[in-house]
């Protein structure tokens, strides 16, 4: 089966993270990821208390890559996190490493532990990263979807057609649902519905 970009034997990863009460010290975060290879789909989710949205975005990808059973794969990653996608596409991490894990402002890189963990996993594969607008209503106005598709092409190039874009948006919507499932799981385990 050919992938969205016409290459055979590609694993597609759709990932999302969420944090309810992200601005508060006490909160609940969740992450969700789908791995798709041909007709096979694997769903993963989890969560943590007292975290951040960015940590959950990173955990979604880490968990997806850790679920892979082989190295040397072509991986297409779809995420609505500009924090994650821009870092990986633009290789910000290379400068962070060179600078001793300091930003250009000479402050410590946030989430270094997760970045190092993710980079050790992505380095085993040929990875391509695609930024997609989150929370798209696939039953909404055609003009809104057309605008989101135009933005997707602007961010990622024009190799993905509209039908493939709709499939990617659907799968990313499912990753969002899984992230919320992770939040619900943590809430039920802690017994605190307010975080």
pTM: 0.91
Number of domains, the chain: 1
Any domain includes 2: no
Any domain includes 57: yes
**Whose structure tokens read 């499932």?**
181
Cβ neighbours for 43, distance < 8 A, ≥ 6 positions apart: 32, 33, 34, 174, 178
What pLDDT is recorded for position 33? Answer: 98
Distance CA 194, CA 10 (A): 40
Q: Residue 87 has what DSSP assignment? A: H
Any domain includes 27: yes
Q: What is the CATH number of the domain that holds 118?
A: 3.30.420.10
Any domain includes 68: yes
Any domain includes 194: no
Using only the alpha carbons of the chain, give its radius of gyration.
Answer: 17
Any domain includes 88: yes
Q: Do residues 175 and 130 make contact, with C-beta atoms less than 8 angstroms apart?
A: no
- In the chain (195 residues long), the average pLDDT of successive 10-residue segments reads 55 96 87 96 96 97 97 96 95 95 94 98 96 86 89 87 94 96 93 66
Any domain includes 23: yes
């Amino acid at each position: 089966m050919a992938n969205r970009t016409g290459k055979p034997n590609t694993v597609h990863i759709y990932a999302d993270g969420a944090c309810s009460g992200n601005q508060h010290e006490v909160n609940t975060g969740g992450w969700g990821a789908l791995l798709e290879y041909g007709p096979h789909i694997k769903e993963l989710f989890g969560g943590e208390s007292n975290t951040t949205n960015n940590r959950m975005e990173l955990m979604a990808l880490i968990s997806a890559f850790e679920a892979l059973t082989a190295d040397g794969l072509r991986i297409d990653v779809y995420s609505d996190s500009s924090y994650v996608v821009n870092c990986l596409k633009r290789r910000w991490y290379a400068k962070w490493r060179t600078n001793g894990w300091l930003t250009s402002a000479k402050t410590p890189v946030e989430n270094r532990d997760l970045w190092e963990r993710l980079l050790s996993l992505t380095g085993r594969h040929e990875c391509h990263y695609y930024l997609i607008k989150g929370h798209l209503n696939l039953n909404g106005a055609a003009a809104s979807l057309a605008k989101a598709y135009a933005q997707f092409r602007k961010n990622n190039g024009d190799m993905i057609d509209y039908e493939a874009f709709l499939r990617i948006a659907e799968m990313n919507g499912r990753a969002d649902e899984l992230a919320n499932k992770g939040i619900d799981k943590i809430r039920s385990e802690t017994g605190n519905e307010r975080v």
